[in-house]
Homo-oligomer: A and B are copies of this chain.
């Protein structure tokens, strides 16, 4: 096994394949052992479970993943209904892509850090595959594959996968909810609609005041250039600046000077720009933009001037859309992803206390770059599609909503109200034995009439159990069948919360139920 003398990637590939083959062979031996064991079980008519004790099964989800139970799912649906309703109000369509992609599609899209977190599938003979890391790259791949689609306003809600450290409270499988507008449109109009959408969603969810921080990739680039940051260090500096909402300036300064070896003078110049708001909290958005237009150093930089012009345009549109009060231009906002080319956004809840989030959400970190209170982030990425297909230019802007974070917040909120996990309207019960068939007939009648009904799936259920079931699941009505009622051609209808009962002629049952249910809504 001497592979230290690495020549070309080809040799490496061969080497890897040989190793993989080796592993496959070894696994086959193991698999055969299992098969033999299974066959022995079959011959001896023993259930497979009999060797469970030897195997020492661990009955759990993989690290960093979890099941969603019925309550969680009901709450999730509530949130997703609000979100998708808003997307549809804006004429968006939805698409779905496979959970895994060809490995080459994902390579080199997520920077050094992100790339390490990609889940690879085993080489079981065939293609090299990886689980998707986000929904943006698959979307760009979709646009590159469907060349006739030059315009698309789409949302996508799906799971993404990151081999992050679960002990640091990060999930390895979580939902993302992306909204993107693809197409050559006019300056800042799609951006304005995007911000309008996030406004509508957060308002509808009613989770308190929020702030949309806006910056521009060209402003960042321009600032770095003006300050004298070497080109090769742009990314590194960007990722340090990005930490400013979590760390005090001194820590960021330290990182820049000592870890990233940026010159002291450069860092001091940078400080002026990124701490503008900190030093003067009275600055309006326009004040801030004007400052850059008037500052001697920045007024000559073309990138900065372009960024300022575009952001002014965006502010104007935001005013027309009635959302200006939620927007804050923030020169220190520097989202980590490499592919942004224009405006960048981050949405932060103002009122939700850090403590609540830390306590309840310590594992629901949707994106690595997401800060405490952050619920959405995005920006313009005009060159991603052409990374897949050069000369095919489809400019895009999008936002990813931290839907897991929103679930957590809504879960916290809903502690006051009960979220029903099932919609059953009527339980068909009986007080006496041997009435299974009668209950079945009534259920059939109700289902035929689109009434959400259940019955105990036992021949002779206890009355108490049936009533407890109603209360546990907040089923508002119960029909109670008894010998007397059968003889008289009636059914007892019980209002579960008040326990008030009333005889209903059997022929009027559906009508009466519909009347009551309409009332209950």
Cα separation A451 to B85 with both chains bound (whole Å): 11
Query: Do the beta carbons of A320 and B96 come within 8 Å of each other?
Result: no
* B-chain residues with CB within 8 Å of residue A93 when the two chains form the complex: 70, 73-74, 421-422
Count of A residues near B, CB < 8 Å? 134
Tell me which residues from 184 to 220 in chain A have a Cβ below 8 Å from any Cβ of chain B: 185-187, 189-190, 192-193, 196, 200
Cα separation A3 to B30 with both chains bound (whole Å): 13
Minimal Cβ-Cβ distance residue in B for A171: B98
Query: Do the beta carbons of A66 and B144 come within 8 Å of each other?
Result: no
Query: Do the beta carbons of A423 and B91 come within 8 Å of each other?
Result: yes
Q: A95-B73, A459-B189 are in contact. Are A100 and B20 (CB under 8 A)?
A: no
**A273 close to chain B: CB less than 8 A:** no
* B-chain residues with CB within 8 Å of residue A322 when the two chains form the complex: 444, 448
Query: Do the beta carbons of B104 and A58 come within 8 Å of each other?
Result: yes
- Cβ-defined partner of A12 (8 Å) among B30, B66, B124, B183: B30
- Cβ-defined partner of A62 (8 Å) among B49, B55, B98, B387: B98
Q: Write the nearest CB–CB distance from A305 to chain B, whole angstroms.
A: 19
* B-chain residues with CB within 8 Å of residue A127 when the two chains form the complex: 62-63
Minimal Cβ-Cβ distance residue in B for A232: B43
* B-chain residues with CB within 8 Å of residue A441 when the two chains form the complex: 320
**A352 close to chain B: CB less than 8 A:** no
Cα separation A124 to B172 with both chains bound (whole Å): 14
Q: A387-B47, A424-B91, A459-B189 are in contact. Are A66 and B98 (CB under 8 A)?
A: yes
Q: A73-B93, A121-B121 are in contact. Are A232 and B65 (CB under 8 A)?
A: no
Q: Write the nearest CB–CB distance from A311 to chain B, whole angstroms.
A: 17
Query: Do the beta carbons of B9 and A33 come within 8 Å of each other?
Result: yes
* B-chain residues with CB within 8 Å of residue A144 when the two chains form the complex: 59
**A257 close to chain B: CB less than 8 A:** no
Minimal Cβ-Cβ distance residue in B for A13: B30
- How many copies are assembled? 2
Minimal Cβ-Cβ distance residue in B for A204: B450
**A498 close to chain B: CB less than 8 A:** no
- Cβ-defined partner of A91 (8 Å) among B30, B88, B454: B454
Query: Do the beta carbons of A45 and B231 come within 8 Å of each other?
Result: yes
Query: Do the beta carbons of B189 and A458 come within 8 Å of each other?
Result: yes
* B-chain residues with CB within 8 Å of residue A193 when the two chains form the complex: 457
**A249 close to chain B: CB less than 8 A:** no
* B-chain residues with CB within 8 Å of residue A121 when the two chains form the complex: 119-122, 131
Minimal Cβ-Cβ distance residue in B for A56: B104
Cα separation A51 to B388 with both chains bound (whole Å): 11
Query: Do the beta carbons of B122 and A95 come within 8 Å of each other?
Result: no
Tell me which residues from 404 to 435 in chain A have a Cβ below 8 Å from any Cβ of chain B: 421-424
Q: A67-B98, A122-B120 are in contact. Are A107 and B444 (CB under 8 A)?
A: no
Query: Do the beta carbons of A62 and B189 come within 8 Å of each other?
Result: no
Minimal Cβ-Cβ distance residue in B for A147: B59
- Cβ-defined partner of A26 (8 Å) among B12, B45, B95: B12
* B-chain residues with CB within 8 Å of residue A94 when the two chains form the complex: 70, 73
Query: Do the beta carbons of B108 and A38 come within 8 Å of each other?
Result: yes
Q: Write the nearest CB–CB distance from A4 to chain B, whole angstroms.
A: 10
Identify the interface centre among A39, A69, A192: most chain B CB within 10 Å of its CB. A69
Q: A189-B457, A423-B91 are in contact. Are A9 and B30 (CB under 8 A)?
A: yes
9 tightest A-B CB contacts, nearest first: A70-B93, A65-B98, A185-B457, A91-B454, A120-B122, A91-B424, A68-B96, A320-B440, A49-B387
Q: Can you name 13 extra interface pairs (CB under 8 A) apart from A69-B146, A119-B121? A: A16-B26, A57-B104, A60-B145, A62-B129, A67-B142, A72-B96, A73-B95, A91-B453, A99-B161, A120-B122, A121-B122, A185-B458, A321-B440
Chosen A-B contacts, 21 in total, with CB atoms closer than 8 Å, are A9-B30, A45-B231, A49-B387, A52-B388, A55-B104, A57-B105, A59-B105, A61-B101, A69-B95, A70-B94, A72-B96, A90-B447, A90-B453, A98-B173, A120-B121, A121-B122, A196-B447, A317-B440, A321-B440, A321-B443, A321-B444
A-to-B contact residues, CB < 8 Å: 1, 3, 6, 9, 12, 15-16, 19-20, 22-23, 26-27, 29-31, 33-35, 38-39, 42-43, 45, 47-49, 52-53, 55, 57-63, 65-70, 72-74, 88-102, 104-105, 107-108, 112, 115, 119-124, 126-127, 129, 131, 141-142, 144-146, 152, 154, 159, 161, 163, 173, 181, 183, 185-187, 189-190, 192-193, 196, 200, 231-232, 234-235, 317, 320-322, 383, 386-390, 421-424, 436-437, 440-441, 443-444, 447-448, 450-454, 457-459, 473
